[in-house]
Amino acid sequence: MKYGFSKEDEDFAQEVRDFVRENLPSDIKKKVQDGLRLDRPDYVRWYSKLYERGWATPGWPKEYGGPGFTPMQKLIFDEELQLQSAPRIIASGINMLAPVLMAFGTPEQKAEYLPKIARSEQWWGQGFSEPGSGSDLASMKTKCEDKGDHYLVNGHKIWTSYAHFCEMMFALVRTKEGKPQESISFILIDLKAEGVTVRPIKMLEGGEDLNEVFLDNVKVPKANLVGEINKGWDYAKYLLGFERTGIAGIAPSKFQIMRLKEIAAKQTRRGKPLIEDPVFVDRIARLEIDLLALEHTALRMMTERPGAPPGPETSLLKVRGTEIRQAVFEMLMEAGGIDCVPFEEAALNLGEAHYEAQPEYTNSLAANYLDSRKITIYGGANEVQRNIVAKAVLKL
Amino acid sequence: MDFSLSEDQAMFKDTVGRILDKEYQSLVPNDAARHSADAIARRWGILAENGVLGLPFVADASGMEQGAVGSMLALEEIGRNLASEPYLASVVLAGTLLQSAGETAYPLVAEIAEGAKRASLAIEEDGMDHDFTNIATSAKKDGDLYVLNGKKRLVLDGDNADILVVVARTSGKKGDVDGLSTFVIDANADGITKNSYGVLDGNRAADFDFNNAKATLVGEEGKAAPRLEQVYDAANAAIAAEMTGLVGALIDITCEYIKVRQQFGVPLAKFQVLTHRLVDARTEWELLKSAAGAAAMGFDDLDGKERRVLCSAAKVQAIRAGRFAHQQAIQLHGGIGMTEECHVGWYAKRIILLSQIFGDESHHIYQFTQARAA
């Protein structure tokens, strides 16, 4: 039991801090800070800087060009980036597809895709969910028929993030009838292929980062099957295990609480700055205390059993982390008061707000709050996560 | 940050767990064997023999040098068994305050660690309101001793104490940080009137009136304030640790219950609302375990505001988790959860006792905010 970080880890944290401060473009920083829209060129601009430093693929093993971070270093790296409002590495190619290719792909697939993924030249969408298959992913229906020299895919995927600017999509498809563990395969689909239609979905806060992908007799080369046929469900479970800890959003919540205090200092209630209202301060403190315990829990789950992989109780990090994050966005919107009511979609793009009576920092508060409602739904809905913990941890 | 236990730490935790599991597994909550003075004294001897009472203390005081982390390991097992051992009252509260007085107090700390003497902390007073500077019990130098006058209340385990560690004012006036001092006095000394009573969890506490009672100074006269802040943090870190055990046990008991109890032709565990309730309790437990660990580590490694942040945060977490766990444990047990004989009610009572002493939730949220801002 030891409090605090080692000198090496503290030095590393400073190194990351310095790098971000010196290399993160200020317009991108402002967009992330203020909850404004980012597009592909923004992400590429930042990821290229990381790539030059060898940090664009922080979770990759050294043999594939990753920096070989220890779990603690990876945690520190992610946290320091987020505390300074660097965009998260959202790329599904880097975080989700790459581990699967490394574990189950052919040498040709690795050589073809991993370098392009690392350089952010090739963007990948995740084709898992379908209109009829969200939490119940195993019920998915997109069909993949063996036509001898190619596969033929028909179906409909939904909630594919950033598909509108992705080149490729990795997808789960049904190659046989039967139980999911025996009938689903993992394939790679070119989003520019004939028969593919990508349609953005307008979300309630105005964004269009999520898409439907219609697959109408799409021909997929045999070489695009990853691993063994009908074993895709195992690969998907493997991949989804990588999503878990980052999704708790501890560092972003820390940052947003700092922002909440700054905004509360600028807003007045009953003649005084909101930050001087003891009731509001009490509510912030409750969130900070909860977040501190969550942060310590992430560290405890990482260190208390050296060498052991994360257990099913890590699902609770996602459940509580997303609930805290939502509470913070709720308080941010509350702090914005009536200034949150004027709403123009253009205001979510940096520099395009033109309603002057509204302080700049309030442009995005309502939109960010609305957008935050998804985090308890995606990445494994919190109710499903609770089911997992009930079964695997409490044995109920 | 490392939450893994060393071999020694794992061994101590295991030792306490085994001793208490054996003693308590056949005892119902209200069994006289839990609370009787003889039974407690016997178990105290066993714990002393195994080095458990000395866990947090320095080697020169017959201690095992494990600090607040050591206490945490023992307290979690105590909480899990709903054990009546006055570890918090005697080892943590009295022991910590004595040890911080310096080497001259070590022989006395050693007597606590060896189980030779039971000590209780007499700090609480009417109107103190968690602010030591309000302490009104006075201490006036008289030769080598000091004459104490005043009233102390809610001395935990006071009924069984051999020695009282008393906090009193030697100089200055109400509200002054300077002028507070700590003393030891034999619990049976002249001038002391004891009024003992039962408390919520079935144990006993006592109020003490001091009427020209003569006590010995420990530590530097007038300079006890920082040591009082420290013992306050120790108390709250310890409460968080014991609460971890209490909450964990309630979750285990309730999970077992809903697997067995049937209604509508199925075990209660088939109903998702109920299993999710227990998952939420487990979440609170995970957060509490981490907060208690961080507070114990922080107590040993940090000072002042940094230590206060962690210990107050842990107390808040303890109160939250304790509240949710005991309320839901009763709820999920249905009607029998409300009976005196049901285990969950007794856990609930210990939980609420610990939540009421050494600062409630809003007090510690305030402490946290002040310490963080500093």
Q: Identify which of A3, A285, A303 has the shortest CB distance to residue B369.
A: A285
Query: Which stretches of chain B sit within 8 Å of chain A by CB?
Result: 1-6, 9, 69, 251, 255, 258-259, 269, 272, 275-276, 278-280, 282-283, 286-291, 293-294, 296-298, 300-302, 313, 316-317, 362, 365-366, 368-369, 372
CA dihedral A212, A213, A217, A220 (to 10 degrees): -160
List the beta bridge partners of residue A211: A160, A200
Query: DSSP characters for B11-68?
Result: HHHHHHHHHHHHHHTT--TT-HHHH-HHHHHHHHHHHHHTT-TTTTS-GGGT--S-HH
Q: Please list, in sequence order, all residues whose beta carbon lies within 8 angstroms of the beta carbon of residue B23, skipping any fewer than 6 positions away.
A: B43, B46, B81, B83
DSSP secondary structure letter of residue A337: G
pLDDT of residue B374: 73
What is the predicted pLDDT for the residue at A206? 86
Q: Residue A263: which of A359, A136, A371, A161 has the closest Cα?
A: A359
Contact B291, A292 (CB under 8 A): yes
- Summarised one tens digit per residue, pLDDT across range B195-208 is 999 999 988 999 99
pLDDT of residue B3 exceeding 90? yes
CB-closest option in A286, A297, A386 to B287: A297
User: Per-residue confidence at B163, pLDDT binned at 50, 70, 90?
Assistant: very high
* Residue range A250-262: mean pLDDT, rounded: 95
> What's the CA gap between B355 and B333, in Å, rounded?
22
CB A201 within 8 A of CB A212: yes
Query: In angstroms, rounded to a whole number, what is the distance separating the alpha carbons of residues B144 and A101?
Result: 79
pLDDT in tens, A226-238: 999 999 999 998 9
B2 and A390: CB-CB below 8 Å? no
Q: Which residues contact B19 (CB under 8 A, 6 or more apart)?
A: B43, B46, B47, B50, B52
User: CA-CA distance, A361 to A296, in Å (whole number)?
Assistant: 31
Mean pLDDT across B160-174: 97
For residue B110, the model assigns a pLDDT of 98
Question: Is the per-residue pLDDT at A379 higher than 90?
Answer: no
Q: Is pLDDT of A311 > 90? A: no
ipTM: 0.91
* Residue pair A158/A125 in contact by the 8 Å Cβ criterion: no
Rounded mean pLDDT, A90-117: 94
By CB atoms closer than 10 A (0-12, 13-18, 19+), residue A217 is exposed
DSSP B177: S
Q: Model confidence over B282-310: pLDDT tens digits?
A: 999 999 999 999 999 999 999 999 999 99
pLDDT given for residue A308 in this prediction: 84
pLDDT number for residue A245? 58
Q: What's residue B29's pLDDT? A: 73
Q: Is A313 on the interface with B (CB under 8 A)?
A: yes
pLDDT at position A243 over 70:
no
CB nearest B291 (choices: A288, A293, A390): A293
Please give the average per-residue pLDDT across A135-158, as a whole number: 96
**Which residue in B has a C-alpha nearest to residue A317's C-alpha?**
B283
Question: Which of B332, B322, B313 minimizes the C-alpha distance to B249?
Answer: B322
Q: How far apart are CA A41 and CA A89, in angstroms?
A: 14
Given B278, B293, B297, which is nearest A390 (Cβ)? B278
Asked whether residue A170 carries a pLDDT value surpassing 90, the answer given is yes
What digits encode the pLDDT tens for the residues A322-341? 999 999 999 999 999 999 98
Name the residue with tokens 């005081």.
B61
Partners of residue A1 in chain B, C-beta under 8 Å? 2-6, 9, 69, 293, 296-297
The CA distance from A215 to A156, in Å, is 6
Strand-pair category, B262-263 with B192-198? unpaired
Q: Which residues contact A19 (CB under 8 A, 6 or more apart)?
A: A53, A55
Residue A356's pLDDT band, with cuts at 50, 70 and 90, is confident
Look at residue A91 in the predicted model and tell me its pLDDT. 79
pLDDT tens column, B316-327: 999 999 999 999
pTM of the model: 0.93
Over 70: is that where the pLDDT of A136 sits? Answer: yes
Angle (CA) A124-A130-A136 rounded to 5° is 115
Per-residue pLDDT tens for A28-52?
999 999 999 999 999 999 999 999 9
Residues 6+ apart with CB under 8 A from A11: none
Task: Indicate which of B286, B301, B309 best probes the interface with A, i.e. most A CBs within 10 Å of its own CB.
Answer: B286
pLDDT of residue A142: 98
Mutate to test the interface with B, among A2, A3, A320, A389 (most CBs of B within 10 A): A3
* Percent of chain A clearing pLDDT 70 (strictly above): 99
The continuous run of DSSP H or E covering B142 comes out as strand B138-142
Q: Coil, strand or helix: which one is A156?
A: strand
Compute the mean pLDDT over every residue in chain A, rounded to the nearest whole number: 93
Encoded amino acid at B80, one letter:
R
User: Is pLDDT of A242 > 80?
Assistant: no
Residue A200 scores a pLDDT above 80 = yes
pLDDT surpasses 90 at A290: yes
A1: nearest CB among B5, B291, B366 = B5
Amino acid, res. B136:
A
- Residue B165: count of CB within 10 angstroms of its CB: 29
Average pLDDT of the residues in A65-89: 92
> Which tokens in the block code for residue B296?
């114990």
Residues B246 and B192: their CA atoms lie apart, in Å, by: 35
Pair of tokens at residue A238 = 């493997």
